[in-house]
Amino acid sequence: MAQPDLSPVGITSARTAEIARSPWEIALQQYDRAADKLKLGPAVRAVLRHPKREVTVNFPVLLDDGSTRVFTGYRVWHNVTRGPAKGGIRFHPRTDLDDMRALAMWMTWKCACVKIPYGGAKGGVTCDPKLLSARELERLTRRYTTEIADMIGPDSDIPAPDVNTNSQVMAWLMDTYSMHRGYSVPGVVTGKPVSIGGSEGRNEATGRGAVYTIQEAAKLLGFDILGSRVAVQGYGNAGQASARFLAELGAKVIAVSDTRGGVFDGDGLDLPLVTRHKQETSSVVGTPRTRAVSNEDLLELDCDILIPAALEGVITAENAPRVRARVVAEAANGPTTPEADDILRSRGITVIPDVLCNAGGVTVSYFEWVQDREEFFWTIDEINARLRRVMVRAFEDVHRTAVEHDVDMRLAAYMLAVNRVAEATLTHGIYP
Ligand code: NAD
């Protein structure tokens, strides 16, 4: 059986040193920058620096060959002061507790940044889903759901899809939870199929929301999306939708990639062809009439909009000096290290930070949860119009804060978000 590739995207030695600090250390560094700037008091500062609840579960799964393997999974709540815990579930060989802590903290800031009434959480299982059959994946999902069943629920913690999980995995999760209750509980999870209470537009929401923020950035910077050149690292849920919507606005998507590498066409890729090739072969690599490009080189292409839409820690102090985009739109969570942020800022490159750029996913997840609770469903036009309002308002809030405090968009987004969560924490008071 092939072994999974555990190395992060296009890693180099300088980058290894930065990633050696885990995403959690990076998340804390980003938080500390905002806390310093806000002059947060020591008590609330310490509260927000710690995840509220962390659960690790080890559980057996029966494999198709009759053997049993023990997997390790996690669910972490960073903060639930502003509402129930909300965050995706990731199946990946590199998933560990520190990853979960970072991603949960980023969810807290993201929900606060776009004013969605949720706290932040994340979950995952350390596994390579490409090495599991559909039946094995279903058994793993159902057992993992059962292991974390006392945390999740429509009033307490609502999971959603993330890397290597999709609407089918969410359907298994909902069904497992519902079986334990004895009745159907659609509100326990978002990103599920429309046929069982999912929302129109949720599949594409992360990409659509990212594009709304890119349109705002382009207006500010005075360039046209029409004819602009776009490179996307990670042609999955977030990356594909971002590429498609930008192409619909007249942009030329010149490069996209996945774990196996990337494809390039300076005149603009034929995206339906790339998507079909990925569906048929599991990779974009080898799409007819394209040239190969590595994941490393893709980040340094001459383009207007660079969209990291895969994993954390790919833009670092090592390669940031060579990034040539005007805008880096973080569809992925945590793709840029703090050192790289400083370099990009000094080079005049605008970064639309993850907690703003990819918040369209959690925003339509919130719409889905509201629809499930009301048992009343909205049209795709209503959903997209509401999503645009949320994303544009959040972009304006972040930009205004950045100008007022003369900071970059990341620090501005963090200052807004951390301040909102700190205020909620102080208003609640310390129990008992
Ligand atoms: P996905 O599994 O649908 O897609 C991930 C894509 O990235 C795949 O095409 C995969 O091949 C590619 N990829 C993985 N490792 C790579 C590597 N080392 N080099 C190049 N490409 C690589 O996952 P997704 O849901 O699109 O998530 C992608 C990012 O977006 C993650 O950071 C996730 O946390 C973030 N995000 C997702 C959502 C959502 O709604 N799905 C919402 C907000 C943020």
pLDDT digits (tens, 9 = 90+) for 228-264: 999 999 999 999 999 999 999 999 999 999 999 999 9
The rounded Å distance from CA 185 to ligand 1 centre is: 27
Q: Beta partners for 291?
A: 264
Residue 38 has pLDDT above 50, yes or no: yes
pLDDT of res. 21: 77
pLDDT of res. 354: 98
90 Cα nearest atom in ligand 1: 34
Residues 6+ apart with CB under 8 A from 295: 9, 10, 233, 257, 261, 262, 310, 314
The rounded Å distance from CA 397 to ligand 1 centre is: 27
User: Whose C-alpha lies nearest to ligand 1, atom 8?
Assistant: 236
Which conformational region is residue 54 in: left (phi greater than 0), alpha (psi within -120 to 50 degrees), or beta? Answer: beta
165 Cα nearest atom in ligand 1: 2
Report whether residue 215 contacts ligand 1, using a CB cutoff of 6 Å.
no
Question: What value does the mean pLDDT take over residues 137-148?
Answer: 98
Report residue 373 as tokens: 């609770």
User: Whose C-alpha lies nearest to ligand 1, atom 40?
Assistant: 361
Spot the catalytic one: 52, 110, 122, 192.
122
* Spatial contact of 39 and 422, defined as CB atoms under 8 Å apart: no
Residue 376 has pLDDT above 70, yes or no: yes
Average pLDDT, the chain: 95
User: Whose C-alpha lies nearest to ligand 1, atom 16?
Assistant: 259
The rounded Å distance from CA 164 to ligand 1 centre is: 7
* Cα–Cα distance, 369 to 22 (Å, whole number): 32
pLDDT digits (tens, 9 = 90+) for 101-117: 999 999 999 999 999 99
Residue with tokens 């600090």: 21
Helix (H, G, I), strand (E, B) or coil at 407: coil
User: Which own/partner pairs from 272-279 qualify as long-range (CB within 8 Å, at least 24 positions apart)?
Assistant: 274/235, 275/235, 275/240, 278/235
User: Whose C-alpha lies nearest to ligand 1, atom 28?
Assistant: 310
* Spatial contact of 235 and 279, defined as CB atoms under 8 Å apart: no
The answer to whether 122 is a known catalytic residue is yes
Nearest CA to 246 out of 264, 266, 269, 263 is that of 269
How far, rounded to the nearest angstrom, does the alpha carbon of residue 91 sit from its chain's CA centroid? 13
The rounded Å distance from CA 319 to ligand 1 centre is: 20
Alpha helices for 192-326 (secondary structure H)? 205-221, 237-248, 271-281, 295-298
* Spatial contact of 344 and 192, defined as CB atoms under 8 Å apart: no
What global pTM score does this model have? 0.95
Q: What band does 49 get if pLDDT is binned at 50, 70 and 90?
A: very high
